[in-house]
Structure 1
Amino acid sequence: MAPSIPSLHLAFAFAFAFAFAFSLHSVFGRYTSIFNFGDSLSDTGNLYYTCSSPNPVNVCFLPYGETFFHRPTGRFSDGRVVLDFIATWLGLPLVRPYRRVGLGGEGISAEEFGKGLNFAVGGATALDLSFFEERGVHNVPSHAVSLGIQLHWINKTYSSVCASSASSGCRDIFKNSLFILGEIGGNDYNYFLLDNRTITEVTSLVPLVVKEISSAITELIELGVGTIMVPGNLPLGCLPIYLQVYATSNPSQYDPQNGCLKWLNQFSKYHNEQLQQELERIRALHPHVHLIYADYFNAVMRILNAPKKFGFTNLHQVCCVDENRSYYFPMPCGLPSTIVCDDPSKYVSWDGLHLTEAAYKLIATSLMQASFTAPQFSILQQNSSTKLLQLQ
């Protein structure tokens, strides 16, 4: 008996759904590796190479890394960062820092390159360091690198690897990997804000920062990259360091729901809006590329607007402080005078500028599970064994 018209419609619907799901799975289903660019929010050890220098940075010492690794690893947290949780979610190993693989990329094998690399460095900026020097901003640390330098590193490594292997193989690596570009740009604003520049001056940086991110995206697309995730800025008005620097007795300056500085969060929103507009423009030019916006701002606000729901009892208090229980820039955490809270998992802020592992885990969960990416990453990504026990 021939199937009825409704049955045919149903069959076609199932066939279309299967084809669509297969298409998504083939594109997004199994990333072979992750390549990451950014600053201290995603550095997994590139700055750690300075630990043998005469003046090592604070992140070289405990209590950084105490929660998960039980030793400092160069991560600006008590444990893992968002990038680590994304890798775990995708069933991939933690992304290795560029400066600790193959002597900074020199002589790295195609096999090693295919496992992915992290080029993020603590203190990194979107703009060239000369930009800050020319404007008299002198609080940029000597170890900082620009996004342009990070792109130079991957180009250098790519050229070295692909000179001795099939170019199609290199293309396959980039096509099948997840590239994460950021968060980057936050330090550009931090250095200006912590140099007592006006909000007008800081706001004038936004088009320049977004342009640098846009140029980097275009460069990666030209290399054959198929998927790029671009995180937005954090809510700067909620970071304890800025709540300390810009403390005021005027209650109208603060959001009554979460105690954050409204004007500074408005600035973060402005950056994120401009970034998303630029991503839309790039999508129109390169419709074959999967360009994903990661909403770090609202992923953090989700926590701060209902901290008890997520197990946090300390909203704007800092876990790692100095003996006077203060925090400042550069961070006092990691010094002999450091005092650490008993349970970092109850704190959102680790050192006043960076977050705890517990907070980073929730941000990653928001990106992977909830509607904090555009397009929604949880729809595009349909693998992992029960998402590895929900990021244990």
Structure 2
Amino acid sequence: MLPSLSSGKMGPAAASSIRSLLYRLLLLYSSLLIAPASSQGDESRQANNKHVAIFVFGDSVYDPGNNNYLYIGIEGKANFTPYGESFFKYPTGRFCDGRTVPDFAAIYSNLPLWEPYLQPGSHNFSNGANFASGGAGVLEESNPNTLYSQKQLKYFKEVANLLKQQLGDAVAKKILADAIYLSSFGGVDYMSFINSTSNPTELQQQEYVNMVIGNFTDVIKEIYETGGRKFAFQNVGPLGCQPELKQQYNLSGGACVEVLQAIASLHNSLLSNVTTELQSQLSGFEYVIFDFFNSLNDMINYPTKYGFNVSEIACCGIGSHRGSGCGRVKEYELCSDPNEYVFFDGGHPSEHADSILSDFLWNGGSDYTWPLSMKQLYKLNSTTVIEILSEDKLLFTM
């Protein structure tokens, strides 16, 4: 039984319990206010009238071309043909033949396609920003020449301060609280790990995953402290089944690099546990986890189910699986139709695959996302709840 709200002061535990209950009730109320309209057309118009910024963090699967502006080798860039050929008709720096998951997320959210954060010129940061960098890890040592997670966090904080200077604290707070923080990290760290540690033991694998998740948790908390409340996490994909890795390890058929698959699964399990804990610890923290691992793995194992003809070999590259060298060497091969391939190059999905994966992320379903879909996260009005909970004058005296 809850303490009477008219009983005056109460203990910290009871107050915390009531705050948590009020938050959930207010969150439910705000979701009812923006519940789907009676027709699909009304729902679409309603979504389009809502402005929610997206801040993107991650590695090459999310990079819109930030690496174009870094002093790194050609292997860390995609600013040359045939990248971009299917949609943009020129290379943008995306490791894809067209649009990526963050691009489709932007389309669903009625935002422009991403420009690199590092691209010179003016930016409308009220729409968010994309800090992702090809080859970026959670850990600096995984690839120090890229925008690893702490560098991306630093740039985000600069954007948050700029929004406050330009728009004022109240407006900036609303943008940051209503925004979605979409991220994809971990794959680079684990590929770096197995390249430097031959035959790692289960204990070594667990310790390394703990270190990666621990550092990533610190990043999440700092985004939260800066004002972020709504997080979308893409978990680590089936690294060991990428054409690049199958070629490197001389595997064929359904065989994959099992140590990488095991480490990715460890990461994904711990990520689920950590986000659940963060939600219990941080007031207003909401999240979605997109199961990139199983979604992409199913495409690889059952390509025709999704409209693909080829899943083990990339569209662009050299070698037995076209697993490397896309556009970087004269003798690279290029397929006639990237839409028939799950992978465009050795480590990155094609635009066709990204469009399907983005649909899973946005619309959700128990096989693809939990505990929410990105669409549901998008509709949550975090700002209203946060402002109410931050008021000193609640129904009871703390």
TM-score of the superposed pair, with normalisation by structure 2: 0.77
1:47-58 counterparts in 2 under 5 A?
47-50=67-70, 58=77
Specify the code of the residue in structure 2 equivalent to 1:343: D
> Do residues 72 (structure 1) and 74 (structure 2) align?
no
The 3 A distance-change label for structure 1 pair 334 and 286 is same
* Equivalent of residue 115 in structure 1, options 127, 132, 153: 127
1:302-317 counterparts in 2 under 5 A?
302-317=298-313
* Equivalent of residue 363 in structure 2, options 358, 369, 376: 369
Q: Distance in 1 between matches of 2:246 and 2:87?
A: 28
Specify the code of the residue in structure 2 equivalent to 1:44: P
Match of 2:153 in 1: 151
> Do residues 227 (structure 1) and 221 (structure 2) align?
no
Q: Distance in 1 between matches of 2:28 and 2:175?
A: 28
Q: Distance in 2 between matches of 1:187 and 1:311?
A: 29
> Do residues 128 (structure 1) and 140 (structure 2) align?
yes
- SS across alignment from 1:83: helix
1:94-243 counterparts in 2 under 5 A?
94-102=113-121, 112-129=124-141, 132=142, 140=143, 143-180=145-182, 182-195=183-196, 197-200=198-201, 201-243=204-246
Match of 1:388 in 2: none
Say if 2:194 and 2:200, in contact at 8 Å, map to a contact too.
Answer: yes
Specify the code of the residue in structure 2 equivalent to 1:93: P
- SS across alignment from 2:342: strand
Specify the code of the residue in structure 1 equivalent to 2:186: G
The 3 A distance-change label for structure 1 pair 334 and 241 is same
TM-score of the superposed pair, with normalisation by structure 1: 0.78
Identity of aligned pairs, percent? 28
Match of 2:248 in 1: 245
- SS across alignment from 2:55: strand
Specify the code of the residue in structure 1 equivalent to 2:342: V
Specify the code of the residue in structure 2 equivalent to 1:303: M
Q: How far did 1:204 drift?
A: 3.0
The 3 A distance-change label for structure 1 pair 54 and 290 is closer
Match of 1:42 in 2: 62
> Do residues 344 (structure 1) and 338 (structure 2) align?
yes
The 3 A distance-change label for structure 1 pair 294 and 24 is farther
The 3 A distance-change label for structure 1 pair 194 and 358 is farther
Say if 1:237 and 1:260, in contact at 8 Å, map to a contact too.
Answer: yes
- SS across alignment from 1:229: strand
Q: How far did 1:19 drift?
A: 6.7
- SS across alignment from 1:333: coil
Residue deviations 1:68-108 (CA, integer Å, cap 9, x gap)? 11110010011111111111112221132210154xxxxx6
Q: How far did 1:38 drift?
A: 0.5
1:263-278 counterparts in 2 under 5 A?
263-278=259-274
Say if 1:63 and 1:334, in contact at 8 Å, map to a contact too.
Answer: no
> Do residues 84 (structure 1) and 103 (structure 2) align?
yes
Say if 1:33 and 1:177, in contact at 8 Å, map to a contact too.
Answer: yes
Say if 1:31 and 1:178, in contact at 8 Å, map to a contact too.
Answer: no
Aligned CA RMSD, in angstroms, stands at: 2.9
- SS across alignment from 2:189: helix
Residue deviations 1:123-175 (CA, integer Å, cap 9, x gap)? 1110123xx5xxxxxxx4x6422100111111123224423541111111111
Residue deviations 1:326-358 (CA, integer Å, cap 9, x gap)? 6556x4434332211111111111211111111
Say if 1:333 and 1:351, in contact at 8 Å, map to a contact too.
Answer: no
Q: Distance in 2 between matches of 1:38 and 1:296?
A: 14
Specify the code of the residue in structure 2 equivalent to 1:368: W
Unpaired runs of at least 5, structure 2: 1-26, 37-45, 380-398
Q: How far did 1:315 drift?
A: 1.4
Match of 1:22 in 2: 33
1:284-303 counterparts in 2 under 5 A?
284-303=280-299
The 3 A distance-change label for structure 1 pair 31 and 233 is farther
Specify the code of the residue in structure 2 equivalent to 1:183: S
Q: How far did 1:199 drift?
A: 3.3
- SS across alignment from 1:280: helix
Q: Distance in 2 between matches of 1:222 and 1:378?
A: 22
Q: Distance in 2 between matches of 1:177 and 1:19?
A: 16
Unpaired runs of at least 5, structure 1: 1-15, 103-107, 133-139, 384-392
The 3 A distance-change label for structure 1 pair 50 and 144 is closer
Match of 1:13 in 2: none
Say if 2:288 and 2:374, in contact at 8 Å, map to a contact too.
Answer: no
